[in-house]
Structure 1
Amino acid sequence: AAVTDWYDNVYMPVVEALRRENMLEDFPGHTEGDLYFWIIEHAHYVREETGQPISSWEVARDYARRFGRAPGNLWQRFRRRLMALLLPSHLEPGPPAGTWRSERLNEEAPLVLFRDILVTLTGAETGWLALSQAAEIARREGGTLRGLHVMREDSTEARARGQAILDEFAFRCDAIGVPHSAKLVVGDVAEEIVDRARWADLVVINQRREHGQVVERLGTIFQEVAAHAARPVLAVPGIRSGCIHRVMLAFDGSPEAREGLHLLCHMLDKWGVSAVVLTVATSNGAQQILDEAVTFVRECQGHEVTARLESGPVAETIIRVLGEENADLLVMGSYRHPPLLKAVLGSMVDQVLREASFPVLISR
């Protein structure tokens, strides 16, 4: 009976994940049994590193990405190493739009988007506002908050401070009543967040402010994470924001903005919010772009949304309309230009974030 139970509930779920991902093609000359034992070992490593349970199919996919010999995986590893040699990390290109849905959602996943929410912890007072916003989403989704504090150097003082931050995080989560876990790690802050984001569904970062302005506007930790994490990123302003009742999607027809449509449909269906879809006219096809978005939402969940077609400077128009519509959350696509070009030209996303007094969910 014990062997049968192990076979049905432990061994076969992993093997089924291998078959779904066609992983034997990545490891020619090996059997499903070989891969099973390798992946179990990899799963133990991942769970020790993250402090959270990881599904069999996610571990299998990560193992293939890291070690598989299929041409696609070999090329991606070579490309990442080459980029690391040629470009600073903040100028490397990010993942393609939609990566987060293909990596984290499958037909067996529960009907939630944000099961695991990665919350970056700094210990700053404004940073706890981001925790409050993350907790609201966790309650709506039945999700778990995964706290992360990154030490730039490993020292007794840094570890003591880091542990104090994790203790405060646990205390606040218990008081709010949301499930939680936390990790203390050493390394480059942005790189650690991006690396651990692949085991999350949402990354929450506080936008620190000084005298009303976002600090370190170019090359910040936030911008590196938003450009390179293959997950939606929630930027929370360093001021208190209320509950989310009305959501506005800034839609320009880009692949990144189309990912925002999936987020908006989920919020309409599961959160009970109302919504606005805004398109700022920058071309003759703006009305068609807006109509496409509204039609998608109606066909997806049958919900009605307010449609706004406006003209003017894009960032200023987004902020103006959000105020007029009394929206509590802005959803918009991530950076469209490659990071090197963005560094020269600037970004509309950055322009909005500089002025935002509301949370901004950046879809990937």
Structure 2
Amino acid sequence: MNQYLESYSAAINEFHRARNQAQLKVLLARLKGEPTDLLDFEEVRKRLKAQGMIERGIKQIPLNAIVGSLGRYHDFTRDFLPKQDHIKDRWARVRLAFTGLSGIPPIEVYQIGEVYFVKDGNHRVSVARQLGATHIQAYVTEVKTRIPLTPDINPESLIIKEEYLEFLEKTRLDFRYPEIDLSVSVAGQYRILLEHIEVHRYYMGIEQKREVHLEEAAADWYENYYLPIVKRISELGILRSYPNRTPTDLYLFMSEHRAELEKRLGWELRTEKAILALMDKAQNNLLERFQDFFEKIDTHLFGGKFSGGPPVGEWRHRTIAVASPSALIQDILVPIDGEEGGWFAVQQARKVAERENASLRAIHVLENHLSEPETNHLQENFENILQDSSIPHDLVILKGDIADTICDRSRYIDLVVMNVRYPPGPQPLDRLVSGFRELVQRCPRPILATPQVVSPLTRGLLAFNGSPKAQEALFLSVYFAKKWSISLTVLSVDEKESQAQKYLNIARKQLTYRQVTAEYVRRTGSVSEAILSTASAYGSDFIIVGGYGYAPLIQVLRGSVVDELLRSSPIPILICR
């Protein structure tokens, strides 16, 4: 008898230790705003509209997958620490049974998905967890629902599951796609998904000239819109930058961010560009933070004159990641100043857009407000140039710094086409104050700089010196040769003929590998003069070059071949970075 009392007293002490643990955990959870309660099985069953039960017999089940109880959910915390003093006698006797000769019978549980709810045996679960057990024997009754549960379920996520069920009841997507998973991590998102489907349904009805049922529209939206986007997000590894988020979360996040960007930009954003914008928000490493920090200092102190722009090849890597290899240029940005000579850039951009089946996005940046007649005149001239074309186009008039605005908006397009009316001057001070030099230095996209001509863009001259930016120019030369069937001449200029020949051999090897034929020219002397004379001799109608090769400050002081070409070339220059 004394031995039993001693064992019982020890069990009571264990209960009090567990009870103290429970109080501490509840307090800490309240401070963090985290739930600690067990889930009520009846509430869960009703919310998920249980469809039937199946007896599964005795199983070993993981204790950490038990998340709720039938009737006793107020007596224990989520990890089954005792919350009520009145259960200590029952708890102590169960504790003694664990070490007694008779042992303990299996508990009884309901199973929904991957989680369990105790029907009988709450105290046994509590004691087993205190003793460090990981599994326990249980009679399992499986409860059938359309929405499975996982061990991380909590009251908030239960609301989300209920909303998911309502969504599936309306769309019946789970009947057509049994493995579908549109789980989200925030309540209220399924209402937005339904709005997306309703919009999709509306346009399906217009296109097919008939009434489209919601279930049909949902299936079409899922297969042809949702899945391709989520697949691309997954392939690009964007999910890794958003821990604890689901693919559907990122689909909705991208859609919201896309709408915000479209409102700010004034034009529709392609899905590919919206995915890239999502990548931009995801990429937030330390190096990029430092780069952004120094660019802000440069903008504040020097007006952005010494910003080096994005890394070499960024546009190529980003574009290849989301675009078709046969359609790299989908959107073209054309800044227009409203002057007579400035409209050549729009005409040149039209040439490119027609070849690429691209959209043309024009902007007019001003410091002061335009009068209504001036705005109408600008819009009228723009429309006149494109009146007999099927090219999608927009003209947005906005206020701000010209270079900042162009660089910002160019992040969402593939090519900038600009008229060269004020090229960088020959002196350091001229280059320092040159807005065009700043754009070439900072712009994250290739720039087609055009004088007051419209070139057919059929004969390209690639100036190649083996530098990283020249490699980018070579990449686009290959693209134009394959896609546009342009004739290509490759020029290398160096004081040493052997070095020039080395560069030509590099270009020849890469072009031959890609089955592109070209003429190869080696020159010495002034680089800019050699480029212009070769272009004239071979009948080239545009030049393809890499961007500035020096750091911004050195480039301002020393000048650049690119600057010399901008001042002297009678044909367009494609500047690549």
Return the offset for 1:233: 0.2
AA aligned to 2:246 is T
Letter in 1 for 2:400: G
Gap regions ≥5 residues in structure 2: 1-214
Q: 1:64 to 1:282 in 2, by over 3 A?
A: same
CA 272–63 in structure 1, closer or farther in 2 if over 3 Å, else same: closer
Give me the CA root mean square deviation.
Answer: 2.5
Structure 1, unpaired ranges of 5+: none
Q: 1:232 aligns with which of 423, 446, 457?
A: 446
Aligned with residue 493 of structure 2, among 274, 280, 293: 280
User: Which residue does the alignment assign to 2:466?
Assistant: 253
Alignment of 1:336 with 2:549, yes or no, is yes
Report SS of the residue matched to 1:285: helix
2:346 to 126, 131, 138: 131
Q: Give distance in 2, aligned partners of 1:314 and 1:147.
A: 33
Identify the residue that residue 30 of structure 1 maps to in structure 2: 245
Give the match's secondary structure for 1:24: helix
In structure 1, distance between residues paired with 2:232 and 2:373: 41
**Residue number among 338, 345, 348 corresponding to 2:558 in the alignment:** 345
Instruction: Compute the displacement of 1:78 (Å).
Output: 4.2
| Corresponding residue SS for 1:91 | coil
Residue 76 (1) aligns with residue 288 (2): yes
Kindly indicate whether the alpha-carbon contact (under 8 Å) linking 1:13 and 1:56 is maintained by their aligned counterparts in 2: no
> Which residue does 1:323 correspond to in 2?
536
Q: Is the 8 A contact 2:459 2:488 kept in 1?
A: yes
Deviation at 1:174, TM superposition (A): 1.3
Q: Which amino acid aligns with 1:286?
A: A
The equivalent position to 1:100 in structure 2, one of 315, 319, 339, is 315
Partner of 1:119: 334
Aligned AA for 1:28?
Answer: P
Kept in 2, the 8 Å contact 1:245–1:273? The answer is yes
Q: How far is the alpha carbon of 1:322 from its aligned partner?
A: 1.2
Measured against aligned partners, the alpha-carbon deviations of 1:322-350 in whole angstroms (never above 9, x if no partner) come to 11112110000001111111111111110
**Normalising to structure 2: TM-score of the pair?**
0.58
Contact 1:147 1:166 in 2 (8 A): no
Over 3 Å counting, the alpha-carbon distance change for 1:295 and 1:25 in structure 2 is same
Give deviations 1:287-306, integer Å, cap 9, x for gaps. Answer: 11111112211221x23211
Partner residue in 1 for 2:32:
none
1:133 Cα deviation after fit:
1.4
Instruction: Judge conservation of contact 1:250–1:318 (CA < 8 Å) in 2.
Output: yes
Closer, same or farther: CA 309–83 of 1 in aligned 2, 3 Å: same
Higher mean C-alpha deviation, range 189-198 or range 3-12: 3-12
- What is the match of residue 140 of structure 2? none
Distance in 1, matches of 2:422 and 2:323, equals 41
Task: Provide the C-alpha distance between the structure 2 equivalents of 1:248 and 1:31, rounded to a whole number of angstroms.
Answer: 48
Structure 2 residue identity aligned to 1:219: V
Report if aligned partners of 2:493, 2:524 keep a CA contact under 8 Å in 1.
Answer: yes
What is the CA distance between 1:168 and its match in structure 2? 1.6
Aligned to 1:303: 516
- Is this contact kept in 2: 1:43–1:59, CA < 8 A? yes
Shift of 1:121: 0.9
How much does 1:6 deviate? 2.8
After TM superposition, what 4+ stretches of structure 1 lie above 4 angstroms from structure 2? none
1:222 alignment partner AA: F
Q: Secondary structure at the match of 2:418?
A: strand
Please give the alpha-carbon distance, in whole angstroms, between the structure 1 residues aligned to 2:257 and 2:439. Answer: 25
Q: Are residues 336 and 270 of structure 1, via their aligned partners in 2, closer, same or farther at CA, if it must alter by over 3 Å?
A: same
- Partner residue of 1:192? 405
Amino acid at match of 1:49: R
Quick check: 2:504–2:522 contact (8 Å CA) kept in 1?
yes
**Residue 246 to residue 40, structure 1, CA distance change in 2 (3 Å):** same
**3-state SS in 1 of match to 2:491:** strand
**Could you state the TM-score of these two structures normalised by the residue count of structure 1?**
0.89
One-letter identity of the residue aligned with 2:444: A
The answer as to whether partners of 1:205 and 1:222 remain within 8 angstroms in 2 is no
Q: CA deviation at 1:54?
A: 2.8
2:9 is aligned with 1:9: no
Contact 1:149 1:166 in 2 (8 A): no
Deviation sequence 1:17-71 (CA, Å, 0-9, x none) = 32122222212233333323222110111222334443434323323423x3x65
SS at match of 2:295: helix
Q: Which residue of 2 aligns with 1:168?
A: 381
User: What is the Cα deviation at residue 235 of structure 1?
Assistant: 0.7
Amino acid at match of 2:505: D
| Residue 242 (structure 1) shift | 3.8
3-state DSSP of counterpart to 2:521: strand
> Quick one: distance in 1 between partners of 2:331 and 2:317?
16
Partner secondary structure for residue 126 of structure 1: helix
Q: Residue 146 of structure 1 aligns with which residue?
A: 361
Aligned partner of 1:290 in structure 2 is: 504
Letter in 1 for 2:378: I
Q: Secondary structure at the match of 1:326?
A: coil
CA distance in 2, matches of 1:38, 1:310: 53
How far did residue 94 of structure 1 move? Answer: 1.4
Amino acid at match of 2:222: Y
> Which stretch shows the higher mean deviation, 109-118 or 91-100?
109-118
Q: Which amino acid aligns with 1:206?
A: N
1:222 correspondence with 2:436: yes
Structure 1 contact 245–274 (Cα < 8 Å) conserved:
yes
| Further displaced range: 259-268 or 54-63 | 54-63
Q: Are the structure 2 counterparts of residues 140 and 252 from structure 1 closer, same or farther at C-alpha, using a change threshold of 3 Å?
A: same
Structure 1 92/182 Cα, relative in aligned 2: closer, same or farther at 3 Å? same
For 1:6, the aligned partner's letter is: W
Are 2:447 and 1:203 aligned? no
1:163 Cα deviation after fit: 4.6
Q: Is the 8 A contact 1:277 1:307 kept in 2?
A: yes
Distance 1:128 1:217 in 2: 25
